[in-house]
Chain A
Amino acid sequence: MSFLQPLFFWASALIIPLAAIYFLKVRPRRDTTTAIFLWQKIYQQKQASSLLNRLRDLLSLLLLILAFMLLTFAMAKPHFVSEDGNDLLILIDNSASMAAKSKTDSKTRLQQACKQARDIVTGLGAGKRAAIATVADQIDYKSYLSDNSKQLVRAINEIEQTEIAFNIEALEKASGSLGSQKSSRVILISDAAAFTVDTIVNGETLSLIEQDKSSDDPNSTDKPAIDDKTKKPDRQLPGGIELVKIGSEAENVGIVSCDLQEVVTENGKMSFYCRLANSGEKTIEADLLLYHMDKDESAEQLRRLEQGQFDKVPGRLIKAMPATITPGLNDPMFFHLADNLPGRYIVLLDHSDATAADNVAYLTIGDRDPIRIGVLNQDRFFFEHSIQAFSQSTGLIELKRLSTTDGDDATEIFLAEGNITPEQIAGYETSSGKRKFAAIIFNPAGESDCWTLTENTLNADEIVPKLIDKDHPAIRYYDPTVIPFYGAKELILPPEGQVILETDTGVALIWRVNSPDKDIIVVNIDPSQGEFYYSPFFPVMVYRMALTLAGREKIAVSTCSTNDSLPEHIRKTADPIAMTTPLSYTTESLQPQNLPALTTAGFYTLNQRNQATDISCSLLNTKETLLNDSILKSDAGPIRKGHSPSYWLTLLALAIVATESILYHRRKVG
């Protein structure tokens, strides 16, 4: 046995004043008698027990000294040297599935995990330290390494439930960084819901989990274990992390994916998509309800929904659909809505189960805000028609007549032939400053920092286009290699030029120059030649390039998952954003590229240039809903729980003091 703080043994010197205080305490009260000889006579008769009486005060003092020595010993924090390392990192899973509470449990899984953590922390032997961290999509440290159990318990008590899905990669990163410390152990307290088996439904693998057997495991074989026909091998925890699994089987159904989109081809109609999952073994009948809500519904009412209080749903019920939810992941559900109402929607699975958060999904259909495209060309006709072709059908782009007085409604993307000089775009500024210059330029000419022309012109018949970036959004949905590039010129690109398409001789045909002050896509073609203006490629090319430059190349989803970042077209804007979370917290002046991830289910409001945009966020995670599919078992080694030797020594000392006090009191009262 060794002592962490042997200096506390100097506290033994306090025995002297302690003895003085004791003797003061035991000083008897004075009383008088007229017949002391009678008392003497009585005590002579009691002589048999006089030895014990003489020793009684001494015994009492010895008891107190023993108690004091025990306290001194406790303060010195004795500990037993063990081989299991000195430092513990306790990772507490606070992902969405940890809110589950089965009918047999009185506490949620997170509460159970916190209790386990508290037990470990209070049993922390002297010389051992622990750190507390939560893990969901990333590791969030709640305390530094400390041997102060009170501080650690406080850190545990501050842990809050999140609505974020568990991200195994975060754990792997942590394992990598912690694995180098040999003297430490990493304990994960979790329901391990993220470590579900791969379930195959209709030929689709739903969770991308692969076998990761440790190579140094003597029992490992090349052939991984197979649970049954529908399950893939289980995934091991990252090396060095021990699992303390908590939570019993719970019946849970939930919405695992959901979307609501306008049907482009059918004006005014919307299509709803939803997929449900059931973690139990019984088929469950429940209603799927779709509400359209007003913007001013309070966040508090939404909170109540996530807590399973469906008695008062804010908004107007526009669709109710009975759902039969079979065990496991169910087939998708679709239905159409006749009314195309922009705004906020709530999808509610009306069923009481282990977790309420996955029974609600939030959807947003935004007001259309078309991309404003201005034509900077003398010959405007074909260019304007190419824009109008898609503005009427999709409404995503819009022809903008150029004006220097437009302010915030100024042109976003310029369309031109030849070149665009700074003088041409001077004055097109927003109220908050100059906007990043974006343009689509056909038939490059003149001097520009986006190209350097040579004297040669390419022969269109000899051009063999070659895709350099075949997945680039600017060329999605059409094949640019079949376009005859009449009028293409030989040129040299600047270093920041990103080639999308080039000739087999290396001359760029389509490229993008994206620098801090400009974002330009250049097409090395003379559209007036070869009747390219009449080609269907021309408006499609303009449309796709405009969407790419505006950052809207992807279809905007009506809801995001809780781990997602904000959509890219928002992050690519330049103006600062004020962001209001579903909990009504507002953060002003956020830079779009630094916007925080969406961590809370509900409706976010982004305010940029006095224009509010709604972004909805929902849990929507199969693993967090299918609670019972984890096949990982607890594999943590023995962990010391309960109280430390110091605690027991202190308790023993207090018991001795109490006993002595009772004995003393008994003497006082006779």
Chain B
Amino acid sequence: MTLAFGVVCLKQTKSIDEQMKEIFNQFGNTQDLSSRSFETLTGQKGALIYFNNITDPKEINEVIFPWIDEQGKEKQLNSQRIQETFLIRDVQITEDIQIIVDNLLQGHVVLLLERDSAYCIFQAEKFPFRNPEQPTVETTVKGTKEGYVESLSVNIGLLRRYVQDKNFRVEHMEVGALTKTKVAIVYLEHIHLPEVLEEVKQRLKEIETDSILSSSELKQWLEDNEWSIFPLSRITERPDSTAQSINDGKIAILTQNSPFAILIPFTFFETIQNMDDYYEKWYVSSMIRLVRVFAFFISIFLPGLYIALIHYNPGLIPSDLLVSIAQSRTQVPFPVIWELLLMELTIEIFREAGIRLPKPLGQTVGIVGGIVIGESAVQANLVSPITLIVVAITTMASFSSPQYSMAYSFRLLRFLLVAAAGFLGLYGFVLGTMVLTVHLASQKSFGIPYLTPFAPTSYRNWIDQFLLFPLRWRTVKPSYLSRKKSKGDWKPLKRG
């Protein structure tokens, strides 16, 4: 939980009642805006205005009121005295009603005093949020067990704990005309690419919308191509992952009210990277990554290839297997493509239902539904067992990507390749794959080609791709992310 405490002064030109009315009118008499009137021992009247649910009552009762009471015993209060005696926070002076409104919305307290030309605003916000907990989407075995929360300041604090460097920079901006969502741009001054940072700021400034409620929404506004099927920036709920990324030269964007950070730029091959990889020995991580690559190919290509082979080129399948497949399909009335699409659709429904249902119930329904319906569908000759196996393997493989949003892309692409293979067999399948390759090659993330470091080729950066090289080899930053250093200036982090 965060708690800030300070004072902002404002010139008073009207009576307290008039000022209160003016402030209340700004909010259309909303019922969570409160006021508390008081009178000091010198007989000076005053009032505090604040929002109930976002202001800390302890601060009002134990800090602000005792202070006013103490200061108002002998002399009348005024802005000058407040500035001199209230030393907990800086005092800002403003005459702008809009600033008062903004401060109230941020959980601050407005103080109105009789016979004084100034109004004061105390800062005592207390927004409800949870404590850092174990990440739910990006789980690791050996990694840190804390994830981001909905508070921007807590998230920045978490990051600061991981990167205790004087070059750590935080820049705040606001997006969303109504929500006024605070975002923090976090980077390492001596490593990041200035042109990427400038582009980030520019794109944030150019956002014209009333509301930004989460990082996922902001991510869509920032990405280079909104039509791309692939995510062009990465989203993470792990501070250790963010710390590692900004260490490599990336820029992190944290959003108020969102437990996710956006990491940019993002390249396609980061899809197979997971924080756990860095906590294991290089050969173990490399093997796991190769498994993920294999799973990636299965999740995208297997259904399309299955259609192409069964429909157009059964001669490619070994004779024994072909006979077995043919026998299993004899009673199925649908063409293989409809059979496969039917099962894919069923799986998608199970998946969607599994997410919406309460967690314990969702798993049970998913397993029971999957087994019962799958078994029944085979017995009713609606699908063949081999199709069921293909769909099940594909679905499991699509979730092997550590980047959750990439799993959605894989699933969509699968349908494209199934359609292509259904129309022109292996030829269509290859053409579909080419369209996919071209699409990937044409994408960029903040000026960085999406297929970096393979296209454009950068051998130096292959140390952390499909295979993870030993730690001592990985002491240099990715060249496409970090600022170029003059000779001798670069000090790679010697580890091990």
Partners in one complex: no
Q: Which residues of B contact A (CB under 8 A)?
A: none
